[in-house]
């Protein structure tokens, strides 16, 4: 497992996907298909002919779309079951089991044009180290698109000291026991800088209008409150 995550593995989460990787219905579909994924793909831009690393790729939904848009995709996830699903739905990509918290020893320096790390970095204890590895494999002129939970939304849900860097443990729907880091925006930006990146774009995305029909309550809340995600386009400092 990635450091900082409980041992209820993503293999458990993978069981909510069927053999072809169909996403769960309702709020899970809203947050992924109509919220985080469009925001990240927008920040990646034109990927035609680009070699893209999908770090913590999960069941391959981002990878599938990247392949459809003309990218060459390499991906990894620490869950063997997620990689099985990924290979089934995105067979043209190159996917392997690997933990985001470990060095990417199988990729040489400056070997990918773009990297994507969607909703995973907050589960890693050494986030600066993980980000440095993603920077290392980027070619000159490349970029990393990073999404993560919005720190204000986390603080509104959990209370306490907003500026306190701490671990949160909670149980999500489907019985997923998760453990992740909560940190203020200042610390998030400091970690990005310490890893050798500068922030090209920072977005607080809104869900796509189609999401209103799936879950009106969550759609309306995400449109007016910072309770969802942040998304960054990060460029290596030279």
Write down the domain spans for the chain: 10-150+185-236
What is the dotted CATH code of the domain comprising 10-150+185-236? 3.40.50.150
Of 3-12, 26-35, 213-222, give the lowest mean pLDDT range: 3-12
Is the Cβ–Cβ distance between 153 and 227 less than 8 Å?
A: yes
Q: How far apart are CA 150 and CA 212, in angstroms?
A: 21
pLDDT bracket for residue 173 (50, 70, 90): low
Q: What is the mean pLDDT of residues 99-114?
A: 98
pTM over 0.95: no
Per-residue pLDDT band for 186 (boundaries 50, 70, 90) equals: very high
> Residue 15 pLDDT more than 60?
no
| pLDDT of res. 27 | 61
Can you give the pLDDT at residue 32?
A: 86
The confidence score (pLDDT) of residue 9 equals 45
Question: pLDDT digit string (tens) for 50-72?
Answer: 999 999 999 999 999 999 999 99
pLDDT per residue over 143-163, tens digit each?
999 999 999 999 999 999 999
């Amino acid at each position: 497992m990635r450091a900082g995550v409980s041992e209820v593995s993503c293999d458990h989460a993978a069981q909510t996907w069927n053999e072809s990787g169909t996403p769960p219905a309702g709020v899970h579909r809203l947050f992924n298909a109509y919220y985080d994924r469009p925001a990240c793909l927008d920040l990646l831009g034109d990927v035609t002919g680009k070699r893209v690393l999908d770090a913590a790729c999960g069941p391959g939904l981002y990878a599938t779309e990247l392949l459809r848009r003309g990218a060459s995709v390499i991906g990894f996830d620490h869950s063997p079951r997620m990689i099985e699903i990924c290979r089934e739905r995105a067979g043209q990509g190159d996917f392997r089991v690997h933990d985001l918290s470990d060095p990417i020893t199988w990729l040489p320096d400056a070997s990918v044009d773009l990297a994507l790390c969607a909703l995973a970095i907050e589960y890693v204890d050494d986030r600066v180290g993980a980000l440095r590895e993603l920077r290392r494999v980027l070619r000159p002129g490349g970029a990393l698109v990073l999404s993560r939970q919005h720190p204000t939304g986390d603080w509104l849900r959990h209370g306490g000291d907003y500026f306190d860097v701490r671990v949160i443990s909670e149980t999500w729907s489907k019985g997923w026991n998760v453990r992740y880091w909560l940190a203020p925006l200042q610390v998030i930006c400091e970690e990005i800088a310490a890893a050798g990146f500068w922030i090209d774009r920072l977005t607080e995305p809104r869900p796509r209008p189609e999401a209103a029909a799936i879950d009106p309550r969550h759609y309306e809340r995400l449109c007016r409150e910072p309770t969802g995600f942040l998304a960054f386009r990060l460029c290596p400092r030279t």
